[in-house]
């Protein structure tokens, strides 16, 4: 089976063609615009995303199946009859609903977490969809006429590509509207956020089939991070991966029962047809690649090669710390008012020192996720990482030292696409290639961790 595995991400859409023998080639990659119409707002043009997916399906050539990964919490509204988008895509990074969520009674937050496993945070889709219902007249009109469709981006893509209005259980678990105990949309949570349940997509297994594109079956649809978890070969409790993209996202397998992590989130890893759901523990850092892109725009570096090759003591051990909180702090802090912070600079501090501190800060925030996941019962001893930052040997080595755990980096870093192909039934071991291994070396001390924790505390609650 030849699979066109399409990873529709935050900054680009990529397509990997995976052959039946597990070898793979990149069919193409297309970037798209990201709009910021107001402070804290992040939007995409849904028509542009759809055009890019169609272009990459064409670029893939003759294939036997298509598989599609989505951004997760990014969502929109569209017309069921015409298919036209009624809103932009509100991206997972968008914080426009932060103040309204913060004003809700504590008992509502407790109920939301008890039902969906998720806090009341603008990261998730629920409050974004509620915002569309309240603030976009075209959405209200479509509701009144029965023509409204609401959902995460996957449901929009599937509807427009194949005529199938659906989502999968893992993606549904990222909305804040799913009852984790039943695998169905929660009437209580839909009412809480003002989201009409009748306009949400039906929920399917990840490999249940989602129609055809020009006669080619679209076999698999799932969240990008869960696809990467599957692509890394994580199957047993404690198996964990971290993807370093725009943000950094840890997922660790929890097993067949809903976990109760402190500060982190219970979520669905995947559900295959005829099988019980696999639960996972999830934690994220809002700004990983996004923080480095910010530093690049400021002129602190110009090429990804500059993210490697550091020698001598770490920036952290020399007292230079960066907290990457441009969009606030995600798990386990859930503080949208946290602000990015450089501390410990002096007259001799150079651009390269600041870049090194940024790499270390991203790694140290993810260490907090690893430790919280292990405290919740996921015995993590090895961390498999992918994404752009995984290509920096310095970063992987520092992460191993800071976490006290072995880190492995697959030769092929398109793990989301490999996971999609694996969910279609392809053995992707040949495409994965040989792993690079990094062992902890004790170079990050308890004093270093305490220094970073102090900087994080200073960054919290900074924004008005």
Q: Could you read off the pLDDT of 327-337 as tens digits, one per residue? A: 999 888 989 89
CA 106, distance to chain mean position in Å, is 27
CA 248, distance to chain mean position in Å, is 7
**What does each C-alpha distance from 78 to 11, 85, 129, 200 come to in angstroms?**
22, 4, 12, 11
Q: How buried is residue 215: exposed, middle or buried, by Cβ count under 10 Å (0-12/13-18/19+)?
A: exposed
Residues in a beta bridge with 16: 5, 26
Its sign, for the CA torsion 361, 362, 367, 368, is: positive
> If pLDDT is split at 50, 70 and 90, which confidence band does 377 have?
confident
> If pLDDT is split at 50, 70 and 90, which confidence band does 278 have?
very high
Asked whether the predicted pLDDT for residue 413 surpasses 90, the reply is no
> If pLDDT is split at 50, 70 and 90, which confidence band does 431 have?
confident
| DSSP-derived secondary structure for 153-201 | HHHHHHHHHHS---EEHHHHTTTT-EETTTTEE-HHHHHHHT--GGGSP
- Judge whether 386 and 241 are in contact, CB under 8 Å: yes
CA dihedral 219, 221, 225, 228 (to 10 degrees): 10
Q: Could you read off the pLDDT of 85-120 as tens digits, one per residue? A: 999 999 999 999 999 999 999 999 999 999 999 999
The most confident of the ranges 37-46, 245-254, 380-389 is 37-46
Statement: the pTM of the whole predicted model exceeds 0.75: yes
Q: Hey, is 225 helix, strand or coil?
A: helix
Q: How far apart are CA 240 and CA 378, in angstroms?
A: 9
Q: Hey, is 420 helix, strand or coil?
A: helix
The radius of gyration of the chain's CA atoms, rounded to the nearest angstrom, is 21
Q: How far apart are CA 410 and CA 389, in angstroms?
A: 12
Q: Which two tokens stand for residue 115?
A: 């039902």
Asked whether the predicted pLDDT for residue 34 surpasses 90, the reply is yes
Query: pLDDT at position 240, please?
Result: 93
**What does each C-alpha distance from 198 to 77, 131, 147, 210 come to in angstroms?**
13, 17, 11, 20
Under 8 Å CB-to-CB from 192, ≥6 apart: which residues?
A: 108, 111, 112, 126
Residue owning tokens 């998720």: 118
> If pLDDT is split at 50, 70 and 90, which confidence band does 439 have?
very high
Asked whether the predicted pLDDT for residue 48 surpasses 80, the reply is yes
Q: Could you read off the pLDDT of 305-351 as tens digits, one per residue? A: 999 999 999 999 999 999 999 999 988 898 989 999 999 999 999 99
Under 8 Å CB-to-CB from 329, ≥6 apart: which residues?
A: 286, 323, 335, 336, 338, 365, 456, 459, 460
Q: Could you read off the pLDDT of 119-175 as tens digits, one per residue? A: 999 999 999 999 999 999 999 999 999 999 999 999 999 999 999 999 999 999 999
Q: Give ∠ CA 102-40-176 in degrees, rounded to 5.
A: 50
Q: Which two tokens stand for residue 215?
A: 């006669």
On average, the pLDDT of the chain sits at 94
Query: pLDDT at position 127, please?
Result: 98
Beta strands at 278-285 and 265-270: parallel, antiparallel or unpaired: antiparallel
Under 8 Å CB-to-CB from 168, ≥6 apart: which residues?
A: 154, 203, 204, 205, 206, 208, 221, 222, 223, 270, 271
> If pLDDT is split at 50, 70 and 90, which confidence band does 303 have?
very high
Beta strands at 216-223 and 212-213: parallel, antiparallel or unpaired: antiparallel
> If pLDDT is split at 50, 70 and 90, which confidence band does 219 have?
very high
Query: pLDDT at position 447, please?
Result: 96
Query: pLDDT at position 2, please?
Result: 96
**What does each C-alpha distance from 427 to 162, 231, 383 come to in angstroms?**
26, 10, 21
Average pLDDT over residues 414-430: 92
């Amino acid at each position: 089976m030849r699979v066109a595995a399409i990873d529709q991400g935050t900054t680009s859409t990529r397509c990997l063609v995976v052959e039946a023998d597990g070898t793979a080639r990149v069919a193409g990659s297309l970037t798209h615009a990201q709009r910021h119409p107001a402070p804290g707002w992040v939007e995409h043009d849904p028509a542009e995303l759809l055009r890019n997916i169609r272009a990459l399906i064409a670029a893939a050539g003759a294939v036997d199946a298509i598989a599609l990964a989505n951004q997760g919490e990014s969502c929109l509204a569209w017309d069921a009859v015409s298919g036209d988008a009624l809103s932009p895509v509100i991206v997972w990074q968008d914080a426009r609903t932060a103040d309204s969520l913060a004003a809700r009674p504590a008992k509502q937050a407790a109920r939301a977490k008890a039902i969906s496993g998720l806090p009341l945070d603008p990261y998730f889709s629920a409050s974004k969809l509620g915002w569309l219902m309240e603030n976009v007249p075209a959405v209200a009109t479509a509701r009144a006429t029965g023509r409204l469709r609401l959902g995460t981006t996957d449901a929009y893509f599937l509807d427009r590509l194949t005529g199938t209005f659906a989502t999968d259980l893992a993606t549904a678990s990222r909305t804040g509207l799913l009852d984790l105990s039943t695998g169905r949309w929660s009437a209580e949570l839909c009412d809480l956020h003002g989201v009409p349940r009748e306009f949400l997509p039906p929920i399917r297994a990840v490999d249940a089939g989602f129609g055809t594109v020009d006669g080619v079956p679209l076999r698999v649809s799932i969240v990008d991070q869960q696809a990467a978890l599957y692509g890394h070969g994580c199957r047993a409790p404690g198996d964990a991966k971290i993807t370093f993209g725009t943000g950094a996202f840890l997922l660790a397998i929890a097993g067949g029962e809903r976990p109760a992590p402190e500060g982190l989130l219970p979520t669905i890893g995947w559900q295959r047809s005829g099988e019980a759901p696999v639960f996972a523990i999830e934690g994220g850092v809002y700004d990983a690649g996004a923080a480095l892109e910010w530093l690049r725009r400021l002129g602190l570096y110009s090429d990804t090669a500059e993210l490697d090759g550091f020698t001598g003591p770490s920036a952290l051990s020399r007292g230079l710390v960066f907290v990457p909180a441009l969009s606030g702090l995600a798990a386990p802090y859930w503080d949208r008012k946290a602000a990015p912070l450089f501390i410990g600079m002096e007259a001799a501090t150079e651009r390269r020192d600041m870049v090194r501190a940024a790499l270390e800060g991203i790694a140290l925030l993810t260490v907090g996720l690893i430790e919280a996941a292990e405290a919740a019962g996921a015995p993590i001893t090895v961390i498999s990482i992918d994404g752009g930052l995984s290509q920096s040997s310095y970063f992987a080595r520092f992460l191993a030292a800071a976490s006290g755990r072995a880190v492995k980096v697959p030769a092929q870093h398109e793990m989301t696409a490999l996971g999609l192909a694996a969910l279609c039934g392809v053995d992707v071991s040949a495409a994965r290639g040989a792993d690079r291994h990094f062992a902890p070396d004790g170079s990050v001390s308890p004093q270093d961790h305490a220094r970073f924790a102090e900087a994080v505390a200073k960054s919290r609650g900074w924004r008005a």
